[in-house]
Chain A
Amino acid sequence: MIRDVFFETMPREDLAALQLRRLKAVVERVYHLVPFYRRRMDELKFKPEHLRTLDDLRLLPFTTKQDLRDNYPFDMFAVPMDQVVRIHASSGTTGKPTPVAYTQRDLDNWAELMARTLAAAGVHRGDIVHNAYGYGLFTGGLGFHYGAERLGAAVIPVSGGQTRRQVMLLQDFSPTVLTCTPSFALYVAEVAQEMGVDFKNLKLRVGVFGAEPWTQAMRDEIENRLNLDAMDIYGLSEIIGPGVSVECIEAKKGLHLFEDHFLPEIVDPATLQPLPPGETGELVITTITKEAMPLLRYRTRDITSLNCAPCACGRTIARMSRLQGRSDDMLIIRGVNVFPSQIEAVLMETPGVAPHYQLIVDREGQLDTLEVQVEVDEAAFSDEVKQLQALAQNLQKQIKDYLTVSVKVKLVEPRTIPRSEGKAKRVIDRRQLLEEKP
């Protein structure tokens, strides 16, 4: 159902007027409060008063993950620390996380957006939500937690891991809603099957799945095996966390993006020129209500398209298509963002390991696997098996400490990893997560 009829079904011209008003306010604020944006706007000879229409958005500077890294840890904040009440972080591209901040009002907005998200997915007061997103620095756990409470549903804050225990809770506490990554949902189904638990005897009705790309085929499988409606959500910590967009249970056709808080654009990732409505390109988001860390034209690197036609559910806000890929080399392994450069950084710090590596991503059963193939050169080579095994284990441990993801390190002969002219083929993804283009 629609939680906020006023904002979610607003006529598009009224929405545009609201967006322009909010955009002007945020541009004014960051120009005066965030030195980074002041510099960028000065470089472009842009002054806040140049912003007259929504089309003038294209005059504003972009923000990239690299910009956030350059301003590590807190230089992107637009409020003093005594206004910040929460800090989360996402994984960075080379090991340092990217922190994000919230004022009390940001947290209120976030909880409200997550309540809208859950309502759109078919969740309501009286539901019991089994929340298996990770709690901690990652925005998934707490984002869903406060959204479900705001909606008036009962939350079980299970967090990740201990799958057999989770299956027990699914039986004993009879939750009606499951929230986790889609691959974890399928893993739970597998473990439940091993334990002899039939989902037809459980009360689960809706699953709200996100934090990693998944296909329509995976949705069909989850719906069949878990006997529920599997709903797709989208969000990223830099923007707010989960709560940026969600499918509606009525249509399940595209993810409604909450445009009263987030101003979306689709740009060509090569030229950065905005693309006409309906075209597929990189999603760029400007936050227009965030206080602690507003971002102008943040390049999400996610490839999608936008549809502004009204939906069968009655919402007028734009719908994103299911994600179609990335415009950078980020991988999502069991819900954790992994950049090849992070693994490279670990390898570079290890003496005797050649900088030639290749990442093989696959899916065993329902879980993503990441194999790191490393060439053994003479400095690292030993004629004793235990030494080489210790080398591989040490690398595995370091990568795990750095990325929080378990990988398998495989030592390979020199020159087995293909060298190509120009860009090296660092990643082989065998999961086929993205739909074939028609």
Chain B
Amino acid sequence: MKVEQISVFLENKAGRLAEVTRILGEAGINIRALSLADTTDFGILRLIVDQYDRAREVLKAQSFTVGKTEVVAVEVPDRPGGLASVLQVLAKAGVNVEYMYAFVQHSGKNAVIIFRFDNLEDAISILQKEGVHIYKGEEVYRL
């Protein structure tokens, strides 16, 4: 039920993001989703890729600091109030969302949102109890 996300530490300098995407591209790794959190000094690039282990290997070989985080890919109805209905479930249960970002493409007529929770297991069981669809890792990497 969990998805492996790779995160990369980037200094706020021109060309760093281009460098990461170039390295992944040359290794034949496809980026499925991404988000960039930035501050004045540094940024954190978060990626869902089709080959996690390979991506980690090639980035580390180029001296990038990389981390692994487990996140959840949630199917959200693509209609007004769709995301709100999912977030409401979580809010009621007191689950805190650390961050979230949207997937690049749709799965059928629904959107896919990547969530990072402080308590992953609780969040998964709450969502499942409420009938919210959560993607398996292999599904996500192939979307």
Contact = CB atoms under 8 A, between A and B. Distances in A.
Interface of A: 376-378, 381-385, 388-389, 392, 410-416
A410 B41 CA distance: 7
B65 A414 contact: yes
A413 B64 contact: yes
Given A383-B7, A385-B39, A389-B39, A376 B44 contact: no
A416 B64 CA distance: 10
Contacts of B11: 412-413, 416
A414 B64 contact: yes
Interface in B45-83: 46, 63-67, 69
Given A413-B10, A416-B11, A382 B41 contact: no
B14 interface: no
Interface string B79-121: 0000000000000000000110000000000000000100000
Nearest to B7: A383
B63 A385 contact: no
10 contacts: A378-B66, A381-B65, A383-B116, A385-B39, A385-B44, A392-B41, A410-B41, A411-B41, A412-B42, A413-B63
Interface string B1-45: 000010101110000100000000000000000000101011010
Contacts of B41: 392, 410-411
A413 B46 CA distance: 16
A385 B37 contact: yes
Nearest to B40: A410
Contact of A413 (B9, B39, B99): B9
B65 A377 contact: yes
B65 A383 contact: no
Contacts of B5: 383
Contacts of A378: 65-67
**10 closest cross-chain pairs (CB), A and B:** A383-B7, A415-B63, A381-B67, A383-B69, A381-B65, A385-B37, A413-B11, A414-B63, A376-B9, A410-B41
A418 B44 CA distance: 23
A87 to B, nearest CB: 41
Contacts of B65: 376-378, 381, 413-414
A419 B137 CA distance: 40
A171 B35 CA distance: 56
B62 to A, nearest CB: 9
Nearest to A409: B41
A381 B44 CA distance: 10
Contacts of B7: 381, 383
A385 B65 CA distance: 14
A377 B66 CA distance: 8
A375 to B, nearest CB: 8
Q: With a 10 A CB-CB cut-off, give which of B41, B44, B65, B69 has the most chain A CB atoms.
A: B65
Q: Of residues A381, A383, A410, A414, which shows the largest number of chain B Cβ atoms within 10 Å of its Cβ?
A: A383
B12 to A, nearest CB: 10
Contacts of B64: 413-414
A383 B39 contact: no
Contacts of A389: 39
